[in-house]
Amino acid sequence: MSASTLSAKYRVEKEIVDAIVDGLNSGEMTVEQAQQAARDTLATVGEIEQHEDSLVNFYKNLSDKYPVFKILYTKVKDEIIKSREISQYRQALGAIDAGNFDSAHQIAKTALAETAHETKVS
């Protein structure tokens, strides 16, 4: 599993939260539209997580049969767990869905500050 596969969920969450915040700030998106977009995104992220779970199960079954794959299984499992733990953007989507826009904005600002180094061009 590549890093880009693991970051797909994170990227979806981040880009949607950023677009929702921009849309609300510019007036291009209503509160109701923002809530529905957050709801739709959370459903899709759930599907991505189900896919990740099936990948983990695949690696586990492979490592059970062939011990040489044990390290790979552990690596993939740990990366997926970590990606789920650090996703503040998902929390922001949940806050938007619930109508807590101030909270969502603060969560997104914090996440952006914490991940600014990841997108910084040298």
Read off the pLDDT of residues 38-77 as tens digits, 9 standing for 90 and up: 999 988 888 888 888 898 999 999 999 999 999 999 998 8
Note whether residue 122 is domain-resident. no
Note whether residue 105 is domain-resident. yes
Read off the pTM.
Answer: 0.62
Note whether residue 121 is domain-resident. no
Could you report the per-residue pLDDT of 77-96, keeping only the tens digit for each?
A: 888 877 776 677 788 888 88
Note whether residue 86 is domain-resident. yes
Q: Which domain holds residue 70?
A: 3-114
Note whether residue 45 is domain-resident. yes
DSSP 28: S
Q: How many domains does the chain have?
A: 1
For residues 99 and 31, give the distance between their C-alpha atoms in angstroms, rounded to a whole number.
8
